[in-house]
Chains A and B, each alone.
Chain A
Amino acid sequence: MNERSKIQPDWFGKTVCGLFLGFALALALVGCFAWFGPGGIDAQDKYQFNMWLLAPIWLSVLSFVYLFHSTRRALLWLGGANLLAWGLLLLLR
């Protein structure tokens, strides 16, 4: 494995990406689930369940963000996923 293909640590950049883009992504995914998932937006008590769902998604993104090759890649992938999820949510809602 040569030096360039090795994962860059990029502690600060990746952590920030995981914290903020991860939370935004979790919010969008939960939003899609809230609107288009089983029971729809008005199901009884689903509001609470959706709130709970935020935590595992956010924490998973934050934990696995260090697998990205660099901050730049993390930014591109997580940013892209965010655009997709938010676009889906805002267009179809």
Chain B
Amino acid sequence: MQIRSDILRIYQKVHLWTGITAGILLFICFFAGALTMFKPQLSAWASPPTSILPQIATAQADELLQQALEQHPEIAKGFTLHLEDDKHAPLTWYSHGGGRGLNLNAEQWQATLDEHGQLLTQKVQPSQLGTLIDQLHRTAGIPGNLGHEQLGVLVMGVASILYFMALVSGVIFLLPTLVKTLFALRQKKGPSRFWLDSHNLLGITALPFHIVIAITVVVFAFHDAFYDALGEFVYGKTPGFSRGAPLVQPLNITHLPPIREIIATANQHAPGYEARTLTFMGLDTPRPAVRIEMYNEQALMRGPLADFLSLQPYSLETQFSTFSPTAAGTWGRIVAVFFGLHFGSFGGMPGRWLYFFMGLSGAMLFYSGNLLWLEKRRQQQKGAELPQQPRKVRLMAAATVGCCLGAMVAVAITMLLGKWLYSWVTNINHSYLWSYYLCFAAAVLYSFWRGAARAAIHLLRIGALACIAMPLTSVLATYAPSLGIWAPHTLTTLMVDLVALLFAFGFLYSARLTQQRTVNGPADSIWAIIDKQNSATPASRLSVY
């Protein structure tokens, strides 16, 4: 396809600038986002088996609730039922915290029935590893608030505007050579060609995914402003979201219909949908509600894990539904599709794995983009003297390696430390935060201190070490239970160990490639490590690119 050269030049510039400003932030969010595909699994992996009471059959839920209510009258305000999900205790409620926001000090009560039908309860401070990784995904780790929004979310909103522009401009200036080069991975023509080819391939093949992610993030970050603008200039009023009339006379938990009846009503709502988690709220107030997570493997769901249904818990009238099958609910359904396409909440486990790999491939897209930027600005060697690489190239390389690899390594070390520290600290959630930020800061500083070439190798090796240590920790826990660590006890948590092992091999392999590049690659590259005493360049290392 022919495109005028002046247009190409302009869009090449747009692509460079938007890409280089947003790339590192997007890398962190995509990597963390890939992990959030398995958010409950990660939290369960980070919790000792004793901190999640065992599940019961759903038929026993009424019996459990009755017994728990006798000992803990505070349940009458609200509680949550997890139906046959071994990542959670069957009945939970919060004595402190537990709202929808992040609260690292939340204290959770759990209850279950033992095999004789006797009530068992315990109070825990649940591990919020999954939630914290989700925070990292949403904010890129940027702390602080601006108004009632998180600063990091707003920053990512701006980064996603740049991301969208980078997508459009990238496609425009790729169009003339697209057909010829899309599936060409030219390894022989030198590393920068190879990186360019993989960058294009990753970007073009996943383009619809990237467009969806960019648009949804802009909406997630700026929906308040968008709603305000619409209300002010288009509607002339704020339509808002309708809520039913409050109860004149508040009821209490004794009026609650049996749990099995509530579940049956919810399951009848739409074919294929099944209640997973029921959260009862404000039971003694004029606005009681039960918010039900409805799961359907065949559907594209509105939430990260499931669709939502809200019932008035006493009358079982529908208050709100994200999967309303009525004709009037079409618009809401379309909106649910946008959410579902961001969250990857469709297609069951294969869908989650697909999104996991899409997230990682997105991270690779941004990393390779930064590498290309660096490659383009390299001072090439002309004579026998090695040129000094420009300052901005060295700094950008250090930032790319420090932030991108640093974030991955920091998450890996945090997960590992979380297991070892669990029995030594009062609240593991604070340790996660400290560990992540300290490791991340250390990685960035190290990268600027030693330079990108050395830091990349060392960070990759540390990442490999941390990832190998996770399954090793589990092996150790099996043979030495007195250490206070634990081995995975379900298939889902075992999978976390296995994936960590795969990551370890990935890190090791990349470390080897990076190491080889320092020796065999062109000497005038920022990735070369030149021995100071012996700076005369062997002819074989002269740049050929």
A: which residues have CB within 8 A of B?
A: 1, 6-7, 9, 23, 27, 30-31, 34-35, 39, 41, 43-52, 54-56, 59-60, 62-64, 66-67, 89
Cβ A45 vs Cβ B226 within 8 A: no
Given contacts A48-B332, A54-B226, A54-B230, contact A41 B11 (CB under 8 A): no
Q: 17 other contacts beyond A27-B229, A66-B11, with CB at 8 A cut-off?
A: A9-B10, A27-B234, A30-B230, A30-B234, A31-B233, A31-B234, A44-B331, A45-B335, A47-B239, A50-B230, A51-B227, A51-B230, A52-B335, A59-B165, A62-B164, A62-B165, A66-B10
Complex formed: what's the CA distance from A5 to B11 in Å? 17
**Interface residue? B14 (CB, 8 A):** yes
Complex formed: what's the CA distance from A89 to B233 in Å? 10
Cβ B6 vs Cβ A1 within 8 A: yes
Listed residue (B215, B235, B331, B334) with the most chain A CB atoms within 10 angstroms of its CB = B331
Complex formed: what's the CA distance from A9 to B215 in Å? 26
Cβ B218 vs Cβ A34 within 8 A: no
- Closest B residue by C-beta to A64: B168
The 6 closest A-B pairs by CB, nearest first: A45-B332, A63-B168, A31-B234, A45-B331, A49-B331, A46-B331
Cβ B10 vs Cβ A62 within 8 A: no
Cβ B234 vs Cβ A48 within 8 A: no
Q: Could you name 17 residue pairs across A and B whose Cβ atoms are closer than 8 Å?
A: A1-B6, A7-B6, A27-B230, A27-B233, A34-B234, A41-B235, A44-B331, A45-B329, A48-B331, A51-B223, A52-B219, A54-B226, A55-B222, A59-B214, A60-B168, A63-B14, A67-B7
Complex formed: what's the CA distance from A56 to B6 in Å? 26
List B contacts of A9 (CB < 8 A): 10, 13
Complex formed: what's the CA distance from A43 to B328 in Å? 7
Q: How large is the interface on B (under 10, 10 to 19, 20 to 34, 35 or more residues)?
A: 20 to 34
1/0 contact string of B1-44 vs chain A (CB within 8 Å): 00010110011011000000000000000000000000000000
Complex formed: what's the CA distance from A87 to B290 in Å? 46
Cβ B7 vs Cβ A7 within 8 A: yes
- Closest B residue by C-beta to A32: B234
List B contacts of A1 (CB < 8 A): 4, 6
CB of B161, distance to nearest CB on chain A (Å):
7
Given contacts A59-B161, A63-B168, contact A51 B226 (CB under 8 A): yes
Complex formed: what's the CA distance from A41 to B234 in Å? 10
**Interface residue? B493 (CB, 8 A):** no
B: which residues have CB within 8 A of A?
A: 4, 6-7, 10-11, 13-14, 161, 164-165, 168-169, 214-215, 218-219, 222-223, 226-227, 229-230, 233-235, 239, 328-329, 331-332, 334-335, 338
Complex formed: what's the CA distance from A4 to B193 in Å? 35
List A contacts of B14 (CB < 8 A): 63, 66
- Closest A residue by C-beta to B214: A59
Complex formed: what's the CA distance from A56 to B215 in Å? 6
CB of A59, distance to nearest CB on chain B (Å):
5
Complex formed: what's the CA distance from A63 to B162 in Å? 9
Complex formed: what's the CA distance from A9 to B229 in Å? 31
Complex formed: what's the CA distance from A4 to B13 in Å? 20
Cβ A63 vs Cβ B328 within 8 A: no
List A contacts of B239 (CB < 8 A): 47
Cβ B215 vs Cβ A59 within 8 A: yes
- Closest B residue by C-beta to A47: B239
- Closest B residue by C-beta to A54: B226
Given contacts A27-B233, A47-B239, contact A59 B164 (CB under 8 A): yes
Complex formed: what's the CA distance from A73 to B328 in Å? 43
- Closest A residue by C-beta to B332: A45
- Closest A residue by C-beta to B222: A55
Given contacts A45-B329, A63-B164, A66-B11, contact A6 B6 (CB under 8 A): yes
CB of B219, distance to nearest CB on chain A (Å):
5
Complex formed: what's the CA distance from A6 to B214 in Å? 31
- Closest B residue by C-beta to A90: B233
Complex formed: what's the CA distance from A41 to B239 in Å? 10
Complex formed: what's the CA distance from A11 to B161 in Å? 16
List A contacts of B164 (CB < 8 A): 59, 62-63
Cβ A55 vs Cβ B6 within 8 A: no
Complex formed: what's the CA distance from A50 to B229 in Å? 11
Complex formed: what's the CA distance from A47 to B7 in Å? 37
Complex formed: what's the CA distance from A80 to B235 in Å? 23
Listed residue (A1, A41, A51) with the most chain B CB atoms within 10 angstroms of its CB = A51
Complex formed: what's the CA distance from A63 to B10 in Å? 12
CB of A56, distance to nearest CB on chain B (Å):
5
List A contacts of B214 (CB < 8 A): 59
Cβ A34 vs Cβ B329 within 8 A: no
- Closest B residue by C-beta to A63: B168
CB of A52, distance to nearest CB on chain B (Å):
6
User: Contact check: which of A7, A50, A54 meets B10 at CB < 8 Å?
Assistant: A7
List A contacts of B328 (CB < 8 A): 43-44
Complex formed: what's the CA distance from A23 to B4 in Å? 28
List A contacts of B218 (CB < 8 A): 55, 59
Complex formed: what's the CA distance from A9 to B328 in Å? 47
CB of A81, distance to nearest CB on chain B (Å):
16
Cβ A49 vs Cβ B335 within 8 A: yes
Cβ B234 vs Cβ A55 within 8 A: no
List A contacts of B226 (CB < 8 A): 51, 54-55
- Closest B residue by C-beta to A51: B226
Complex formed: what's the CA distance from A1 to B6 in Å? 10
Complex formed: what's the CA distance from A60 to B164 in Å? 8
